[in-house]
A and B are shown apart, each in its own frame.
Chain A
Amino acid sequence: MNTLKQEWFGNIRADILAGMVVGLALIPEALAFAFIVGVDPRVALYASFTIAVIISFVGGRPGLISAATGAMALVLVNLMANHGLEYVLAATILTGIIQFFLGIFGVAKLMRFIPNSVMLGFVNALGIMIFMTQMPYLIGFNMMTYVFAIITLILVYVIPRFLKVIPAPLVAIVVMTTIALLADVKLQTIGDLGTMPNTLPTFFIPNIPITFETLKIIFPYALALSIVGLLESLLTSQVLDDMTDTESDKNKEARGQGIANFVNGFFGGMAGCALIGQSVINIKSGGRGRLSTFTAGIFLMFLIIVLGDTVQKIPMPVLVGVMIMVSMTTFNWGSFKFIKQAPKSESIVMITTVIIILYTQNLAIGVVIGVILSALMFVGKISQVKVIKEKSEYKVQGPLFFASTTKFIQYFRHIEEDRIVINFIDSHIWDESAVGAIIKVKQKLEEKGVQVRIVGLNSMSKQLYEQLR
C-alpha cells in the first residue's frame, strides 16, 4: 500500500508540472497520427486521453506515457481505408483482450528473444514511415508550405538551446501559427482536415456485425497491433527503468496496455501504446510517478476542450515540421555505425527488417520475420562443427544437433585406421539427431571393420546418449 502511495504521491509537484508539459506535447503528435490513419482528430485525442488516464492506474511502469502512437497508427491505415472507423475501434478492443492475456501468460519473457538488430530495424523503419506519411501534406501546395515547414523544423532544433522548460515543438507551433495568422498566409490548416472535439468521450459499442466474418477482418490487425504495441511499450519501460534506476513489472505493463486499449475502444479511441519520446520528455521534466501520466491525460483533454478552436488554426506545414523532427529522433542514427561494426549477420537482420517493413508497410510482419531470420542465422552460426584429427583421435569441436549432424557425418566417410577414438570434450550433444548421427557413424565404421571408441562426453550429453542409444 505504501508503494502505491509512493507511486502516486511521492513526487506531486514535479509530476504535475511534467504531466502538463507532456499533455501539451501530446497534442500535435495525436493530431498527426489521426491524419496518418485517416480518422477525425477526435479519435486520436480521445485515445490519448483515455489511454493515459487508464494506464496511470493499471500500468506497470510509473512515469511511462502511453497514448495514440505513430506505430499503432501505421498498422491501422489499411483497416480504416477498407472497412472504416467502427472496425478500427473493434480491432482496438480486441487488441486490448490479446495484450491482456499475453500479459497474463508472461509475454515479457519473450522480449529477450527479440535481438536488438530487429528492434533497430523496427525503430528505423518507423522513423522512415512517419517521415513518408508527412509528405502528402507538404508537397504540391505552394511555396509558403515549404517555407513554414522548414522554419518550424529549424526552430524545433534551435529552441532547446535557449529554452528548456517548454518543449520546443510547442513554442514553434505557437510562434509559427501566430505568424501565419498575422501575415494572413494561405496554408492548409488542421481545421481544413477535421473537426476538434468539444466534449469528453462517451461510452458506445462499435456498430459492427458480431460475426465470424468480422473477426476474420479485425483479428490480423489486432494481432499486429498487439505485437507492435507491446514491443514499443516494453522497450520504453526498459529505457525508463534505466533512466530512473528503478525496476518495473513488464507483464503488469502488458496487462495494463491491454486494459487501456480495451476500454479505449469503447470510448471511440484508436489503439495506442507507450510513446518513447514523450516518456523521455516526462522523465526529463521531472516526472516519475503515476500522477504525471494521469495529469498528462487530463490536461490534454482540458486543453482540447478549451482551445479546440485555436488548435484548428494550426497550419499543416507547421505540424509537418514538428513530425519530421519526431521521425528524425525516432530513427536511430547510430545504426550506420552499427552496420559497420556489428557482426555481419546482425547488420543483415537489421537491414532486412527495415526493408520488409517498408515493403509490406507492416511493422509486425517485419519484426516477426526479423526474429525468425536472426534465429536461423544464430542456428547457422553455431552449427559450425569441426573435427580435428590427431593421430587416431578425432576431436569434435562445436555443438552437435540437427543442423550440424550432416557435416559431422561427412568427416567420417574415409577412415584409414582400424581403431579410432572420437573425442567430444569440446562438443555437446543436444538432441536425438545428434545421438543418431553418432550411432550411424559408429555402425558404418564398424561394418568396415574400424573399432570406434566414444570418449569425452560431458554429463548432459552422456545422459542423452545413453537414453537414446
Chain B
Amino acid sequence: MRIAVAIDGSENALRAAKHSIYLVKHLPEAVLELIFVVDFDKVKDDYLLTQNKDSLVLEREKKIKPVLQEAEKDHIPTTVTILKGNPSQEIIRYVNNESIDQLILGSRGLNLFQEMMLGSVSHKVMKHVQCPVTIVK
C-alpha cells in the first residue's frame, strides 16, 4: 500500500506528515512517499530571497527534513519526490499516475477571503484524485 503525503514546510503539513507516519506504522506493507511541490508562482520571489542556487535548494530541503526525521525515528523507509508547477495540479497528476492508495494533506486553514483569492489546494486535490484522501486539520 502506497501512502503519500503532500508537504510544503508549514505546520499543518507537518501535522499531516505525522499522521501519515502513524498510519504507515500500523499498516503492514505500507510505504510512505513524500511529495513536495515547488510552486511556479513563487520561484521568482524565492530566488530573490536566497543568495544563490545552492542556498535555494538548501531552503527547500529544510522544509522536507523535519518530516524525514520524524519518519526516521520510527524507522519508516521514505521516498521523496520533488515536483515543480502548480501545487494542486502536480499533486493530482502524481497521485493519479503513480496509483497512490491513500493521500494525506494538511489544510491551510484559510479564511473566506484568502480562499477566494488563493484557492484551497486541499479542496481542489480532494475533488480530482482517484484515491481516498485524508485532510488533517
Contacts of A115 in B (CB 8 A): 51
User: Can you give 18 contacting A-B residue pairs, CB < 8 Å?
Assistant: A115-B51, A116-B49, A116-B51, A119-B48, A120-B48, A158-B116, A161-B117, A235-B48, A238-B47, A238-B53, A239-B47, A242-B47, A242-B53, A243-B40, A244-B84, A280-B43, A284-B40, A334-B49
Say yes or no: A276 contacts B44, CB within 8 Å. yes
Distance A311 CA – B117 CA, assembled complex (angstroms): 29
Say yes or no: A116 contacts B84, CB within 8 Å. no
Is A105 in the interface zone, CB < 8 Å from B? no
Mostly, the A contact residues are helix
Q: CB-CB contacts of A233-274 with B at 8 A, as 1s and 0s?
A: 001001101111100000000000000000000000000000
Question: Which B72-95 residues sit within 8 Å CB-CB of chain A?
Answer: 84-86
> 4 tightest CB-CB pairs across the interface, nearest first?
A334-B49, A239-B44, A116-B51, A239-B47
Contacts of A334 in B (CB 8 A): 45-46, 48-49
How many positions in chain A have a CB within 8 Å of any CB in the partner chain? 26
Question: Which A158-174 residues sit within 8 Å CB-CB of chain B?
Answer: 158, 161
Is B52 in the interface zone, CB < 8 Å from A? yes
Is A157 in the interface zone, CB < 8 Å from B? yes
Residue from A112, A116, A280, A338 within 8 A of B44 (CB atoms): A280
Q: CB-CB contacts of A106-126 with B at 8 A, as 1s and 0s?
A: 000000100110011001000
Say yes or no: A243 contacts B84, CB within 8 Å. yes
Q: CB-CB contacts of B35-58 with A at 8 A, as 1s and 0s?
A: 000101101111111111100100
Contacts of A241 in B (CB 8 A): 53
Interface residues on B, range: 20 to 34
Quote the shortest CB–CB distance from A357 to chain B (angstroms). Answer: 15
Is B66 in the interface zone, CB < 8 Å from A? no
Contacts of A123 in B (CB 8 A): 48
Is A332 in the interface zone, CB < 8 Å from B? yes
Distance A241 CA – B43 CA, assembled complex (angstroms): 10
Distance A244 CA – B85 CA, assembled complex (angstroms): 9
